[in-house]
Chains A and B, each alone.
Chain A
Amino acid sequence: MMASVLISAGTIASVSMPLEAVRQSTPISSAILDLPVLLAVTWVTPVAGAVLGASILAPLVALWFLKLRRRRRIVSSTLLWTRSLADLRANTPFQRIRFSWLLVLQILAVIAIALALAQPEAEGFGSSGGRHVILVDRSASMNTVESTSDSGEELSEPTTRLALAKLAAKERVSELLGGGWFSARASEVMVVAFGSRAEIRAPFTDSVSALEAAIDSINPTDESTQLAEAMQLSRAFTSELNRNDARGEIADIPAERPPTIELYSDGRIADLASLALREGEGVLYHRVGNAERNLAVVAVSAERPPDSADRVQVFAAVLNPRSEPAKVTLQLAINGTVRSVTPEPIAIPAASNIDGQFVPGRAQVVFRPIEQPTDAAIEVAIVEDDALRDDDSALIIVPPAKRLSLLHVGSDGFLVRTLLEGLPVERFVSMSLAEFDALAAAGGTAGYDVVVLDGVAPKVLPSGCYLALGAAPPVEGLTVFGGHEGVYPRVARDEHPLFRSASIDELFVSKLVAIQPDKRFEILAESAEGPMIVALDRSDLHLVYVAFDPLDSNWPFQRSFVNFIANAIDHLGRAGDSVIGRSLVPGEAIAFRLPAGSRDGEIELPDGSKTACAIDADGNLTWGPVQLAGLHRIGFTPPGGGARESRLVGVNIGDADEARIDPLESLDIGTTQVQGISVAESRRGALWPWVLFAGLLLVLIEWWSYQRQIRV
């Protein structure tokens, strides 16, 4: 037993906590921490061990003082006995030690009990004293189904990583707070679940049942893995505000003894590089899972060909994070019905490492156009099974084939007008500002899907969708206060549909309208001087405002200008449709506008569950963050009653990091490398009970041997 302890400890090779953290959390062991072999051995409850040791040693020493109650026996002479005893006992300090199995057993028993008192734990288990924060990763990759345990044993039934992590976390809680002699130094434990966002499931408590219930309540999500927020939350609970700072600032200072952070994850954490541990902060990384085989559909898009609006063409990207090439069969389903399957398996190259950067293998798939004049939920899915099913499909919601009715306002804007005339629209009308004001006053603008204000500002802006160029439209919350000259864009929301194939990196604007939008506006692009492109999505008004005249920039000479205008028309033209063309990713919120007066909102989640969601008086619906990938169906009662209507929202994982499911052996947090402990190893846990059992067994054998020897 002893030998195995040392061997296993020696093979761990590194500590799971920063050395300083171990020193601080385990003062008794700190004296010998410099020995590499013992680095892996953690003394779980040093004080409890010392108390127990003292409580054993005290009676043990007392026994040496106590005299055995012996029977008196009168003998003729003790002469022979005394001399015999003298032969038996050592009567000189240095004599040849006589071999005795009893002696060997006693030595072994003492060693075993001494080791048990030191409470060695396998694979670098951390201290159970003090406070612990259990962080449970519930990101998409934790939904990977494991068929074997970390130690390679077949599981009775396939289990997700999250379930394994929860099980291990609960066992850890029992271990820390389970009571008994060796948990006498009660810890406080906090439970935090995290994906792209972190959530405290149980604040610091020593209630095992509360903690176990909190762990049980952690549900799987398809979010990405962001650890920073979870770390901040745990620090917030363990830091104290220093209100007496010399500079008069309020700053949080770490508590005297930082908690031990116990992370249950597969280690695929997107923001790991931006994290750093505080001084004395310790992390135990409980590595979960061992499955590796996974392929993912990371992107899907669809468009209706300009020449055939009733058809839909679907594009998909498939990712292979493994080091071997793979082949995959994809199927295309529309509204749940399979419409197409790739005729041959698609080859995906293996992942590679380029300049130290991991580059997964990718393959692009283009499906043949499919007849689909109505709106549809299109799903591209991998046919073959793999360990993580959640990322094997991706959804996109395609709006119905619809041709827009477009109104151009501005007599001098030949450039924009010419461009708009080239768009495939149902109806295109161009008029002057005066005509538009008259039309607006008569309420005639409702017949147009999108109105383009080409360098003009109407008196009023009726409900509708507007693309305004140059002159600031009269919208509440948008303040104009002069202008700037010679500006370049600094930040742009590249992921916004308006910037699809429309990069503005090379844009230069000679005259920019200086605006100050309020918080209802979304800034899509801004320069050092101020916003350049903003958007407003109100229940009655959808507006994209470009705060400069394109003719005052070099934009017309760039291809991105055409794409931007087309994207803006398309985006504004689809606003309020029954489907949302853009897919969300888990962690984002569903937010869109329903007809004002809509009510009784309800969201049906991909897992079939339903939940109510509020709709305000203007018809704005906000719900989230979404946690599961898949089709979200929002049902509502339209204004004035009538049959319930619904909107569809597609949510896709689309995260290459989550597609990498092979667990990380160690985490590099700042300058600290945290070695992972597999959950199976964690579950094997403390070795001291076995060592203690061995010690007691040795004592029993020693007693038995002694009894056998004295039996005459």
Chain B
Amino acid sequence: MTQVKPLRKLDDLLDSRLMSKLDAIDVMSRKIFSGKLQGERRSRRRGQSVEFADFRPYVHGDDLRFVDWNIFGRLDKLFLKMFLEEEDLSLVIAVDTSASMRVGNPDAFDYARRVAMALGYVGLVNQHRVSLVGFSQGRVERASNLRGRRKAADIAQWLLTLEPEGASGFEEAMRLVGTSRSGRGVMIVLSDFLFPEGFEKGLSMVAGRGFDLFALQVLAPQVVDPTREGGVTGDLLLVDSETGVETEITVTPELLRLYRDRLDRLCGALRGYCTRRDIVHMVVESSTPVETLMLEYLRRRGLLR
């Protein structure tokens, strides 16, 4: 069994080679959001960018600097020039820190942290406002409003301090994120979505609240195929990593078939739910190289460009 090197520093999360490749890409939102700060993204707001948007009659109190004096000379009326505002993009990366993410080889938690680091880096490089949320049962950790390349180390440090434990608490975490957002934008949820209570309520907390939502379902290879190296065979006592519930099984082809059916059904349900809510759903195995994910899969799905 191949042992994955534990993550201890920024390079472990994101090496410089991938970092240089990520410099050239940006997060793409399928929606146009209002930002808080002037940024590099076109905003719904009319603002101070060079890109002309429209005219409107001057009203009292308007900034006289935006009056089009040429029009006033011809028409003798005051018109205000309106430009497209360029604002920053809010990028929220939610990482599932429940114990279930720690299982597998390579485990989904490390993979999720590396993906979060890569996405966060892309956001920082493109002057977006990056927020990170780590959630598990009764515990929501946040790193909010990070901006600029220099903050990459902060993100790394924050990610490295995360430790998976307990149940997911997905619904509660999403409720917090949805109600206390500091700006609309793109939200990426990195989780295995193996929640006993279901994912629907949690997703519904953020799906209808102005986020361009991406559900990245990270699964360990042994979850996708239990017979893989280090998987289950024979008579086993399965222990749930989150709840501690024990289940006795005897692995038979029939049982495996049923398990795979169940997993397909779960993923299918998630996919269906996401499709209905305009959420992008994507399943990724934790054995997939992060570079491949970032540069190929996510670009293909429209999250990055």
User: Please, which residues of chain B bring their CB within 8 A of the CB of A83?
Assistant: 262
The distance in angstroms between the C-alpha atoms of A375 and B192, with both chains bound, is: 122
A93 to chain B, nearest CB (A): 21
Contacts of A369-395 to chain B: CB distance below 8 A: none
The distance in angstroms between the C-alpha atoms of A74 and B101, with both chains bound, is: 12
The distance in angstroms between the C-alpha atoms of A85 and B192, with both chains bound, is: 21
User: Please, which residues of chain A bring their CB within 8 A of the CB of B263?
Assistant: 80
**CB < 8 Å neighbour of A75 from B196, B238, B250, B253:** B238
The distance in angstroms between the C-alpha atoms of A260 and B160, with both chains bound, is: 89
A64 to chain B, nearest CB (A): 14
The distance in angstroms between the C-alpha atoms of A68 and B252, with both chains bound, is: 16
User: When A73-B232, A76-B101 are in contact, do A81 and B254 touch as well, CB less than 8 Å?
Assistant: no
User: When A76-B192, A82-B247 are in contact, do A88 and B236 touch as well, CB less than 8 Å?
Assistant: no
- Does B75 reach chain A (CB closer than 8 Å)? no
- Contact across chains for B240 and A77 when beta carbons are under 8 A apart: yes
User: Please, which residues of chain A bring their CB within 8 A of the CB of B258?
Assistant: 84, 87-88
- Contact across chains for B259 and A75 when beta carbons are under 8 A apart: no
- Does B100 reach chain A (CB closer than 8 Å)? yes
Residue among B243, B251, B254 with max Cβ neighbours from chain A (10 Å): B254
- Contact across chains for B252 and A710 when beta carbons are under 8 A apart: yes
- Contact across chains for B254 and A88 when beta carbons are under 8 A apart: yes
- Does B120 reach chain A (CB closer than 8 Å)? no
B132 to chain A, nearest CB (A): 22
User: When A73-B232, A77-B241 are in contact, do A710 and B251 touch as well, CB less than 8 Å?
Assistant: yes
B54 to chain A, nearest CB (A): 53
- Does B256 reach chain A (CB closer than 8 Å)? yes
- Contact across chains for B101 and A80 when beta carbons are under 8 A apart: no
Contacts of B217-260 to chain A: CB distance below 8 A: 220, 222-223, 227, 232-243, 245-256, 258-259
A149 to chain B, nearest CB (A): 51
**CB < 8 Å neighbour of B255 from A71, A73, A84:** A84
- Contact across chains for A76 and B250 when beta carbons are under 8 A apart: no
Residue among A71, A79, A85 with max Cβ neighbours from chain B (10 Å): A79
1/0 contact string of B92-127 vs chain A (CB within 8 Å)? 000000001101100010000000000000000000
- Contact across chains for A80 and B245 when beta carbons are under 8 A apart: no
- Contact across chains for A70 and B248 when beta carbons are under 8 A apart: yes
- Contact across chains for A85 and B249 when beta carbons are under 8 A apart: yes
- Does A353 reach chain B (CB closer than 8 Å)? no
1/0 contact string of B52-79 vs chain A (CB within 8 Å)? 0000000000000000000000000000
The distance in angstroms between the C-alpha atoms of A710 and B255, with both chains bound, is: 9
User: When A77-B194, A88-B254 are in contact, do A71 and B237 touch as well, CB less than 8 Å?
Assistant: yes
- Does A709 reach chain B (CB closer than 8 Å)? yes
Residue among B103, B247, B248, B266 with max Cβ neighbours from chain A (10 Å): B247
User: When A70-B248, A71-B235, A81-B249 are in contact, do A76 and B255 touch as well, CB less than 8 Å?
Assistant: no
- Contact across chains for B253 and A709 when beta carbons are under 8 A apart: yes
- Chain A residue nearest to B246 (CB atoms) is A78
The distance in angstroms between the C-alpha atoms of A75 and B108, with both chains bound, is: 12
User: Please, which residues of chain A bring their CB within 8 A of the CB of B253?
Assistant: 709-710, 712
- Chain B residue nearest to A67 (CB atoms) is B248
B28 to chain A, nearest CB (A): 31
- Contact across chains for A712 and B103 when beta carbons are under 8 A apart: no
- Does A72 reach chain B (CB closer than 8 Å)? yes
User: Please, which residues of chain B bring their CB within 8 A of the CB of A75?
Assistant: 103, 222-223, 232, 238-241
- Contact across chains for A712 and B237 when beta carbons are under 8 A apart: no
User: Please, which residues of chain B bring their CB within 8 A of the CB of A709?
Assistant: 252-254
- Contact across chains for B247 and A78 when beta carbons are under 8 A apart: yes
- Contact across chains for A70 and B236 when beta carbons are under 8 A apart: yes
User: Please, which residues of chain A bring their CB within 8 A of the CB of B100?
Assistant: 76-77
- Contact across chains for A710 and B227 when beta carbons are under 8 A apart: no
User: Please, which residues of chain A bring their CB within 8 A of the CB of B238?
Assistant: 73-75, 78, 81
- Contact across chains for B251 and A77 when beta carbons are under 8 A apart: no
- Contact across chains for B237 and A73 when beta carbons are under 8 A apart: yes
The distance in angstroms between the C-alpha atoms of A79 and B253, with both chains bound, is: 18
User: Please, which residues of chain B bring their CB within 8 A of the CB of A73?
Assistant: 232, 236-239
- Chain A residues engaging chain B, CB cutoff 8 angstroms: 68, 70-85, 87-88, 709-710, 712
Q: List 21 A-B contacts (CB under 8 A).
A: A68-B235, A68-B248, A71-B235, A71-B236, A73-B236, A74-B239, A76-B241, A77-B240, A77-B241, A78-B238, A78-B239, A81-B238, A81-B249, A82-B247, A84-B255, A84-B262, A85-B249, A88-B258, A709-B254, A710-B250, A712-B233
A-B pairs with lowest CB-CB distance, top 10: A76-B100, A84-B258, A70-B237, A77-B194, A76-B103, A78-B240, A78-B247, A80-B262, A84-B259, A70-B235
Known: A71-B237, A78-B246. 4 other contacts (CB 8 A): A75-B241, A76-B220, A84-B255, A88-B252
- Chain B residues engaging chain A, CB cutoff 8 angstroms: 100-101, 103-104, 108, 192, 194, 196, 220, 222-223, 227, 232-243, 245-256, 258-259, 261-263, 266
